[in-house]
Chains A and B, each alone.
Chain A
Amino acid sequence: MGKTIAEKIFESHLRDEPFSGTKVLDLDRVLCHEITTPVAIADLEWRGKDRVFDKDKIKAVIDHVTPSKDTKTAIQAKMLRDWARRHEITDFFDVGHNGVCHALFPEKGYIRPGFTVIMGDSHTCTHGAFGAFAAGVGTTDLEVGILKGVCAFREPATIRVNLTGALSAGVYAKDVILYVIGQLGVNGATDRVIEFAGPVVDAMTMESRMTLCNMAIEAGGTCGICMPDEVTVDYLWPFIQEDYADKAAAVADYKKWHSDADANYDQVLDFNVSSLEPQLTYGYKPDCVKAVAEMAGTPVDQIYIGTCTNGRIEDLREAAAVLKGRRIADTVRGIVSPATPKIFREALAEGIIQIFMDAGFCVTNPTCGACLGMSNGVLAEGEVCASTSNRNFNGRMGKGGMVHLMSPATAAATAVTGKITDARTLS
């Protein structure tokens, strides 16, 4: 019997199996941010174990609320900053260099095929786009990861999602993943890895694959994962060129992680996406999904473009293509948050920031900001936000607020009219 990519990664990283079905894995990356890590640091100090297993494999960023907005967030940032300095964490990103973790770490080349990655953040599943096993964990798992470089998981079962056909113009990875979550339901993939495959995934950029994998957790998935291929190698080339004679050699090497043809799957789902239309969420669960057309005309108060789901350069380009030469409606506030400084610079160089500002958007520094209702655009009770983020839970962007999740193109079109709008219908 063949193996899935997740099984191959588990096998190659197995440190211990203390009980049948419990696999303790060696970790290649332990990623840290300032919301969930300080509590782990405080607990390690309290236990007299303020140590790190490997200062190179641990990466840290201040990203959720940055620059700090008040005394409490300043203390959180300081705790992470002091800890990173104390342990000489090689890669630590502070104000001026920081950005949203799941956009920043891949961009720096830290995530490679076959890696095991944990972070105290549920959207760590994003990094599976590189053919890594990447899982969000709580603070205790993070703490043990920092101290020992291991994490325990149950044997992974995999759901394979085959995406066939071809996306029509104006339909994006975000629409695909919203649709898939609508089909799977919010716990349809609990304790499962979601393997995204098929011609649609093969044709996707790394940015789009990250958008897909980012939302695996919204179906309960432990990790979203894509097979590493030419696209992966192109993206990683600046970081791996020393290791391989040429790109073909890297592609060939990465094939060792591909799921075998006779691998055993928990479920195999086929979706032909050729006739898929732009999607959005309604209600308070990410599986409440329908076509944008069905909600067209619903007024909104705020547009939020950014986050680890859709704050990458490709996303800003798609939104800017809609906004170019247009102004947003007087009734809405538009906020755009490029996910990293690199993306910000690219957007500046390409004139995208200019387009956003001309359209009437507020451009923020790279940060999670309004995504989790902590800063930079928190909603008031009863307000509605069209957002490119990944969660629409009650209260997520502010108590009593409503969030509709959608693609950057749909969000931009919605900004222009002030009402939910399918970008393809803008004249």
Chain B
Amino acid sequence: MEKIFKGATIFLDRSDINTDEIIPAKYLTEVTKEALKPYLLEDLKLDGFDPKGEALKNARVVVSRQNFGCGSSREHAPWVFEVNDVHTIIAEGYARIFRQNMFNGGMLAIELPKSDIDALFELSAQGIVNIDVDVDGQKIVASVNGVDKSFAFEISEFDKALVKSGGWVEFADERY
């Protein structure tokens, strides 16, 4: 499946969102990614957040705070985003396994400094934010009410290669 790194953005204003919140363990008995779809962020503890709401349904990009995806190694967490067409997460920092799982599946876990994340959250106060990621140019453009603001980001050569080749299985299979 072609990955798409742009679209309406949902803002999750909390650090340490863990993989049990993203996809509770009781759904780990599913053996297909598609079956996870209805349960995205079902147990997220965040005031005002509705896992069944429009904002999440329309979201293609997630912006969050520090240590996103901590806890269990379950790749079901990136998958539940993937099958809900969210292929881009932008945060101040990630748990290692979650970040690697995103890139291993050819998706983006972009890290931005706190000041940029703060700036993105400020934009969210003005209306629906659309984000477009240029992986080669290492640039994010956030648009709200017709005004654009851009942010540069760092990505390792390896992570970029994983995104380009569609993931780690493809990359490793060619090389080892």
- Residues of A whose CB lies within 8 Å of any CB of B are 15-16, 18-22, 24, 35-36, 38-39, 42-43, 47, 49, 65, 70, 72-73, 75-76, 79, 120-122, 124, 136-141, 143-144, 147-148, 150, 152, 154, 186-187, 190-191, 220, 222, 284-285, 372-374, 391, 393-396, 399
Pair B20/A138 contact, Cβ less than 8 Å:
no
Contact A220:B73 (CB < 8 A) given known A186-B16, A394-B43: no
Chain B, range 1-59, C-beta contacts under 8 Å to A: 16, 18, 20-21, 24-26, 28-33, 43, 45
Residues of B within 8 A of A394 (CB): 20-21, 43, 45
**Least Cβ distance of A147 to chain B in Å?**
7
A24 and B73 in contact, given A47-B169, A75-B31, A396-B20 (Cβ under 8 angstroms): no
Chain B nearest Cβ from A38, distance in angstroms: 5
A-B contact pairs, 9 of them (CB 8 A): A22-B156, A22-B158, A124-B73, A138-B75, A140-B75, A147-B173, A186-B70, A187-B93, A374-B29
Task: Give the distance to chain A from B97, nearest Cβ to Cβ, in Å.
Answer: 6
State whether B71 touches A393 (Cβ < 8 A): yes
Residue in contact with B168 in the complex, picked from A36, A49, A124, A144, CB distance below 8 Å: A144
Whether B161 pairs with A18 at a CB distance below 8 angstroms is yes
Cβ-neighbour of A186 out of B67, B98, B100, B168 (below 8 A): B67
| Bound CA span A222–B93, Å | 15
B24 nearest CB neighbor, chain A only: A395
Q: Is the CB of B176 within 8 A of A138?
A: no
B84: A residues at CB distance < 8 A: none
Chain B residues, CB < 8 A from A395: 20-21, 24, 43
Query: For the complex, what is the distance from the CA of A79 to the CA of B73, rounded to whole Å?
Result: 20
Could you give, for residues 134-176 of chain B, a 1 whenever the CB lies within 8 Å of some chain A CB and a 0 otherwise? 0000000000000000000000111001000001110011011
**Residue pair B70, A187 in contact (C-beta under 8 Å):** yes
Q: Is the CB of B169 within 8 A of A140?
A: yes
Instruction: Pick from A122, A140, A187: contact of B105, CB below 8 A.
Output: A140
Establish whether residues A144 and B26, one from each chain, have CB atoms under 8 Å apart when the complex forms: no
Q: How far is the CB of B3 from chain A (nearest CB, A)?
A: 14
Given contacts A138-B97, A187-B70, A190-B67, 15 further A-B contacts (CB under 8 A): A18-B158, A39-B31, A120-B75, A138-B74, A138-B75, A138-B78, A140-B169, A147-B169, A147-B173, A148-B173, A187-B16, A187-B66, A187-B95, A220-B70, A373-B25
Beta-carbon contact of B71 and A391 below 8 Å: yes
Q: Tell which of B71, B74, B156 touches A36, judged by Cβ atoms closer than 8 Å.
A: B74
Question: Is B101 interfacial (CB 8 A cutoff)?
Answer: yes
A186 to B29, CA, bound (A): 27
Contact B100 A72 (CB under 8 A): no
> How many residues of B are in contact with the other chain, CB < 8 A?
45
Tell whether A22 pairs with B157 under 8 Å between CB atoms, given A138-B104, A374-B26, A399-B43: yes
Contact digits for B86-105, partner A, Cβ 8 Å, 1 yes 0 no: 00000001111110110011
The complex places the Cα of A138 from the Cα of B33 at a distance, in Å, of 14
Residues of B contacting A35 in the complex (Cβ-Cβ under 8 angstroms): 28-29, 74
- Give the chain A neighbours of B43 by CB distance below 8 A: 394-395, 399
Question: Contact: A143 with B169, CB < 8 Å?
Answer: yes
The answer for the CA separation of A220 and B96 in the assembled complex, in Å, is 7
Cβ-defined contact, A122 with B72, below 8 A: yes
In whole angstroms, what is the CA distance A70 to B26 when docked? 12
Residue in contact with B20 in the complex, picked from A141, A190, A391, CB distance below 8 Å:
A391
Given A16-B175, A19-B158, A140-B101, are A122 and B73 neighbors across the interface (CB < 8 Å)? Answer: yes
Which residues on the A side are within 8 Å of B94 (C-beta)? 190
Partner of A137, one of B16, B24, B32, B100: B100
Complex: A394 Cα to B101 Cα, angstroms: 22
Given A122-B73, A220-B96, A372-B25, also A141-B168 (CB < 8 A): yes
Tell whether, in the assembled complex, residue A220 and residue B67 are in contact, meaning their CB atoms are under 8 Å apart: yes
Is B168 within 8 A of A152, CB to CB? yes
Are B176 and A15 in contact (CB-based, < 8 A)? yes
Flag if B158 contacts A393 (CB, 8 Å). no
Q: Please, how many angstroms separate the alpha-carbon atoms of A284 and B66 in the complex?
A: 16
Is the Cβ of B169 less than 8 Å from the Cβ of A43?
Answer: yes
Residues of A near B104 (CB, < 8 A) are 138, 140-141
A49 touches B173 (CB 8 A): yes
Once the chains are docked, how many angstroms separate the CA of A122 from the CA of B175?
Answer: 27
- Most chain B CB within 10 A, of A136, A284, A394, A395, is at A395
